[in-house]
């Protein structure tokens, strides 16, 4: 559970705690001053229908105690908390998270009280994107989009070298219109990209079209490779919808790089090769972005959360007139 | 030609010259220290198939002479030049303009030599958008998109309070995919929004579908109002395509305001009412932008060009350690 930490790209900085809250699991870890990730583990996200935010914040206390007991020599000075859904990073609010059930919840304040630490609060996908921007595949690009394609589709944007969140509402690439004649998305809109092209949608659409059970998007890809025409259609239509969405991003935002992570990116060339070809075919004079596979894998969200905590520690130290710890 | 200047929202600042070069006409004017726009006129854009950029730059000399002769008391300290197409504002290059024929043309340097003044060089639609952001309908919004819908469709974006150009490639909203089964756009891509929903496309599509001549999008709207079903279909499909494009911008960029100018905006409520309804229907949890009509009209590009020239004058004066003129 708290085995020797693998090498990470974090490097030296403040020692912090990081909590990456997902709809199913929460990842927690300690990052020491050398940038080692200590005690990283995945536990079921705490739930309480009556007090969703309170339950999540309370769970941080137990997770923090475990980390501190295992690493008594590490003096953490800040924590990072990332959550899914709509997030107001400035006011520290979880505005809405369909899987978790809070609305306008003051999660940053709750976590600061629970942990007794200053807390950097943000959005899980933007945290992952920020890690890819600063440490992963998107580093070196000032204008880049990082897509996370798994159960759903989310994105984070770096614009002019700065993360762009628009008060928490930016980056809902998965809830942009892909098919005006499509199905209704759980979000309430029609034909959202994630109803067509997320890993979850690919598996679900295959089940509906074939009547056969399938373990996930990977199995649909395998079936397509084995000559199943239903699987081939669904895979190809997902690629086409993603390509159209990326081409539209290119026309308006003109990112230099589009980085793709999440479960679907594990398909590798079976995703990236046809996607790159289709994006290319849909563009003319536009600036063609490089299409890159995310580098930091599943832990990008946790690493980005730790980065945000370190940034907060640095800012606090600077404001207090001391050197950053 | 140089009659009493109408009131403008520019206010006091440096005295400058401004040249807004269009595919057909060039607008030129002098702005005095009080912000009066003097000698505004429209002349055919200079053309030379062998030296498109040189011809345009040379025309500035004659236009400047006329302005200076008419207003000998105004001591201009900088000039602004805006051009259409792809523009590299940092290096001062006109990268490409299909109507004018240049490629990678050093227009800023040519204009500085011709005019003997420091030149602020930029993109015509971004200049117009900048004027709407600073003086017009988009003022007060940090995240806003200004659309110019006329012969084509272009956009300029304000992100986090700053204009966003992505090296000149951002804002090609008119060349984002609207209809994957659509017609080929002159840009080379298929189904670009401006092949469906620009004022030019509405008139052209009506001619093609009805076999009847029509003077422009306004006449198509009038025909729709008079019960012409072909005109109604074309108008409605243009509104739908615009609404879908705006809804997609909202999902990813989440602007607080979408400002629409250009010829099509003159349709007023016949455009804005159904467009607002359709955008609204396509969104769910997204942040709904206010939809606003541009305020500065046809001269927004020239005003934005003058603003850029004034910014340059202020920066030069600051760098020289003197008060801004």
Q: Which residues in chain A are closer than 8 Å to B176, comparing Cβ atoms?
A: 247-248, 251-252
Q: Identify whether residues B72 and B179 lie together within a single domain.
A: no
Q: Which residues in chain A are closer than 8 Å to B170, comparing Cβ atoms?
A: 252-254
Domain membership of residue B28 (yes or no) is yes
Nearest to B170 among A190, A253, A284 (CB): A253
Which tens digit of pLDDT belongs to each residue from A116-153? 999 999 999 889 999 999 999 999 999 999 999 988 89
- Which three-class secondary structure string do you get for chain B? CCCCCCCCCCCCCCCEEEEEECCCEEEEEEECCCCCEEEEEEEECCCCCCCHHHHHHHHHHHHHHHHHHHCCCCCCCEEEEEECCEEECCCCEEEECCCCCCEEECHHHHHHHHHCCCEEEEEHHHHHHHHHHHHCCCCCCCCEEEEEECCCEEEEEEECCEEECHHHCCCCHHHCECCCCCCECCCCCECECHHHHCHHHHHHHHHHHHCCCCCCHHHHHHHHHCCCHHHHHHHHHHHHHHHHHHHHHHHHHCCCEEEEECHHHHHCHHHHHHHHHHHHHHCCCCCCCEEEECCCHHHHHHHHHHHHHHHHHHHHHHHCCCCCC
| Under 8 Å between Cβ of A124 and A301 | yes
Is the CB of residue A141 less than 8 Å away from at least one CB of chain B? no
Question: Is the pLDDT at B3 greater than 60, yes or no?
Answer: no
pLDDT at B324: 47
Question: Is the pLDDT at B8 greater than 80, yes or no?
Answer: no
pLDDT at B7: 56
Which tens digit of pLDDT belongs to each residue from A213-247? 999 999 999 999 999 999 999 999 999 999 999 99
Q: Which two tokens stand for residue B18?
A: 């401004």
pLDDT at A3: 45
Domain membership of residue B242 (yes or no) is yes
Please state the φ and ψ torsions of residue B20, each to the nearest 5 degrees.
-110, 100
Is the CB of residue A170 less than 8 Å away from at least one CB of chain B? yes
Q: Which residues in chain B are closer than 8 Å to A191, comparing Cβ atoms?
A: none
CB atoms < 10 A from the CB of B218, how many? 17
Q: Identify whether residues B280 and B303 lie together within a single domain.
A: no
Q: What's the rounded Cα separation, in Å, for the pair A294 and A259? A: 6
C-alpha distances in Å from residue A200, one per residue of A101, A117, A197, A210: 21, 37, 8, 16
Residues 6+ apart with CB under 8 A from A298: none
Question: Is the pLDDT at A163 greater than 90, yes or no?
Answer: no
Query: Total structural domains in chain B?
Result: 2
Q: What's the rounded Cα separation, in Å, for the pair B258 and B242? A: 12
pLDDT at B325: 47
Nearest to A189 among B180, B256, B282 (CB): B282
For testing contact with chain B, the best of A94, A126, A196, A285 (most B CBs within 10 A): A285
Using CA coordinates, name the residue in chain A closest to B190: A282
Is the CB of residue A155 less than 8 Å away from at least one CB of chain B? yes
Q: Identify whether residues B143 and B288 lie together within a single domain.
A: yes
Residue with tokens 């110019």: B148
Q: Which residues in chain A are closer than 8 Å to B286, comparing Cβ atoms?
A: 169, 172, 175, 189
> Please, which pLDDT band fits residue A8 given cuts at 50, 70 and 90?
low
Q: Do B248 and A248 touch (CB under 8 A)?
A: yes
Helix, coil or strand: residue A123: strand
Which tens digit of pLDDT belongs to each residue from A291-320? 999 999 889 999 999 999 999 999 999 888
Q: Do A166 and B287 touch (CB under 8 A)?
A: yes
pLDDT at B30: 98
Question: What is chain B's mean pLDDT, rounded?
Answer: 93
For every residue of A245-306, DSSP letters joined together read HHHHHHHHH--SEEEEESGGGGGTHHHHHHHHHHHHHH-SSSPPPEEEE-SSGGGHHHHHHH
Is the CB of residue B172 less than 8 Å away from at least one CB of chain A? yes
Cβ burial of B202 (10 Å; 0-12, 13-18, 19+) is: buried
pLDDT at B6: 54
Domain membership of residue B26 (yes or no) is yes
Q: Do B189 and A282 touch (CB under 8 A)?
A: yes
How close, in Å, is residue B285 to chain A by CA atoms?
Answer: 7
Please state the φ and ψ torsions of residue A157, each to the nearest 5 degrees.
-125, 135
Is the CB of residue B173 less than 8 Å away from at least one CB of chain A? yes
Q: Do B160 and A157 touch (CB under 8 A)?
A: no
Q: Identify whether residues A164 and A247 lie together within a single domain.
A: yes
Nearest to A187 among B249, B254, B284 (CB): B284
| Under 8 Å between Cβ of A80 and A87 | no
Is the CB of residue A248 less than 8 Å away from at least one CB of chain B? yes
How close, in Å, is residue A252 to chain B by CA atoms?
Answer: 4
Question: What is chain A's mean pLDDT, rounded?
Answer: 93
Which tens digit of pLDDT belongs to each residue from A47-93? 988 899 999 999 999 999 999 999 999 999 999 999 988 899 999 99
pLDDT at A324: 47
Q: What's the rounded Cα separation, in Å, for the pair B231 and B252? A: 32
pLDDT at A297: 87
Q: Identify whether residues A99 and A203 lie together within a single domain.
A: no
Q: Identify whether residues A114 and A185 lie together within a single domain.
A: no
Which tens digit of pLDDT belongs to each residue from B44-101? 999 988 899 999 999 999 999 999 999 999 999 999 999 988 899 999 999 988 778 8
Is the CB of residue A58 less than 8 Å away from at least one CB of chain B? no
pLDDT at A2: 41
Listed by number, the residues of chain A in 251-270 with a beta carbon closer than 8 Å to a beta carbon of chain B are 251-256
Q: Identify whether residues B143 and B290 lie together within a single domain.
A: yes
pLDDT at B100: 85
Q: Which residues in chain A are closer than 8 Å to B173, comparing Cβ atoms?
A: 251-252
Residues 6+ apart with CB under 8 A from A135: A9, A10, A295, A296, A303, A307
Q: What's the rounded Cα separation, in Å, for the pair A155 and A98? A: 17
Which tens digit of pLDDT belongs to each residue from B13-44? 999 999 999 888 999 999 999 999 999 999 99
Residues 6+ apart with CB under 8 A from B212: B206
Q: What's the rounded Cα separation, in Å, for the pair B108 and A7? A: 50
Question: Is the pLDDT at A173 greater than 80, yes or no?
Answer: yes
Using CA coordinates, name the residue in chain A closest to B285: A187
Domain membership of residue B228 (yes or no) is yes
Q: Do A247 and B283 touch (CB under 8 A)?
A: no
CATH number at residue B262: 3.30.420.40
* Angle (nearest 5°) at CA A220 between A217 and A222: 115
Q: What's the rounded Cα separation, in Å, for the pair A74 and B4? A: 74
Q: What's the rounded Cα separation, in Å, for the pair A152 and A174? A: 7
Nearest to B252 among A173, A284, A287 (CB): A173
Q: Identify whether residues B188 and B64 lie together within a single domain.
A: no
- Percent of chain B exceeding pLDDT 70 equals 96
Question: From the CA atom positions of chain B, what is the Rg in Å?
Answer: 20
Question: Is the pLDDT at A96 greater than 80, yes or no?
Answer: yes
Domain membership of residue A248 (yes or no) is yes
From A154, A237, A230, A249, select the one nearest A196 (Cα to Cα). Answer: A237
> Please, which pLDDT band fits residue B234 given cuts at 50, 70 and 90?
very high
Mean pLDDT of B179-202: 95
Is the CB of residue A143 less than 8 Å away from at least one CB of chain B? yes
Domain membership of residue A5 (yes or no) is no
DSSP annotation of A185 = P
| Under 8 Å between Cβ of A143 and A158 | yes
Q: Do B167 and A254 touch (CB under 8 A)?
A: yes
Domain membership of residue B3 (yes or no) is no
* Angle (nearest 5°) at CA A187 between A210 and A27: 90
Domain membership of residue A129 (yes or no) is no
Q: Do B173 and A252 touch (CB under 8 A)?
A: yes
pLDDT at A7: 55
Q: Identify whether residues A160 and A88 lie together within a single domain.
A: no
Is the CB of residue B86 less than 8 Å away from at least one CB of chain A? yes
Q: Which domain holds residue A88?
A: 16-123+298-319
The alpha carbon torsion through B301, B302, B304, B310 (nearest 10 deg) reads 160
Q: What's the rounded Cα separation, in Å, for the pair B147 and A43? A: 47
> Please, which pLDDT band fits residue A322 given cuts at 50, 70 and 90?
low
How close, in Å, is residue B321 to chain A by CA atoms?
Answer: 29
Nearest to A176 among B180, B188, B248 (CB): B248
Nearest to B244 among A171, A173, A180 (CB): A180
Query: What does chain B come to in residues?
Result: 325
Q: Which residues in chain B are closer than 8 Å to A287, comparing Cβ atoms?
A: 166-167, 169
pLDDT at B101: 85
> Please, which pLDDT band fits residue B321 given cuts at 50, 70 and 90?
confident
Beta strands at A290-293 and A257-261: parallel, antiparallel or unpaired: parallel
pLDDT at A6: 54
Q: Identify whether residues A119 and A258 lie together within a single domain.
A: no
Q: Which two tokens stand for residue A64?
A: 């923090």
Q: Identify whether residues A150 and A280 lie together within a single domain.
A: yes
How close, in Å, is residue B39 to chain A by CA atoms?
Answer: 35
Residue with tokens 């990008």: A300
Q: Which residues in chain B are closer than 8 Å to A248, comparing Cβ atoms?
A: 176-177, 248
Q: Identify whether residues B99 and B183 lie together within a single domain.
A: no
How close, in Å, is residue A286 to chain B by CA atoms?
Answer: 7
- Report which listed range, A201-210, A314-323, B157-166, is most confident: A201-210
pLDDT at B253: 95
Mean pLDDT of A99-109: 91
């Amino acid at each position: 559970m708290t085995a020797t930490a693998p090498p990470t790209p974090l490097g030296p900085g403040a020692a912090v705690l990081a909590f990456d809250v997902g709809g199913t699991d929460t990842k927690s870890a300690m990052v020491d001053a050398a940038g080692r990730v200590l005690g990283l583990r995945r536990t079921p996200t705490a739930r309480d229908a009556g007090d969703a935010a309170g339950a999540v914040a309370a769970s941080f206390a137990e997770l923090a105690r475990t980390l501190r007991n295992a690493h008594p020599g590490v003096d953490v000075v800040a924590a990072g908390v990332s959550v899914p859904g709509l997030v107001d990073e400035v006011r520290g609010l979880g505005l809405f998270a369909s899987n978790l059930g809070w609305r306008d919840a003051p999660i940053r304040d709750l976590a600061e009280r629970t942990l007794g630490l200053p807390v950097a609060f943000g959005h899980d996908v933007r945290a992952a994107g920020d890690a890819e921007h600063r440490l992963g595949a998107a580093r070196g690009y000032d204008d880049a989009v990082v897509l996370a394609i798994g159960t759903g589709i989310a994105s984070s944007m770096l614009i002019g070298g700065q993360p762009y969140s628009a008060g928490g509402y930016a980056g809902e690439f998965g809830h942009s219109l892909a098919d005006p004649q499509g199905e209704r998305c759980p979000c309430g809109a029609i034909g959202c990209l994630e109803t067509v092209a997320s890993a979850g949608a690919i598996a679900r659409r295959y089940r509906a079209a074939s009547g056969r059970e399938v373990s996930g998007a990977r199995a649909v890809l395998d079936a397509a490779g084995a000559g199943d025409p239903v699987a081939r259609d669904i895979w190809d239509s997902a690629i086409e919808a993603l390509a159209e969405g990326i081409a539209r991003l290119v026309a308006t935002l003109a990112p230099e790089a589009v980085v793709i992570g999440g479960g679907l990116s594990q398909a590798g060339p079976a995703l990236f090769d046809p996607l790159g070809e289709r994006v290319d075919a849909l563009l003319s004079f536009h600036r063609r972005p490089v299409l890159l596979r995310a580098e930091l894998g599943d832990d990008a969200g946790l690493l980005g959360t730790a980065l945000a905590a370190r940034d907060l520690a640095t800012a606090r130290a600077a404001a207090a007139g001391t050197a950053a710890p």
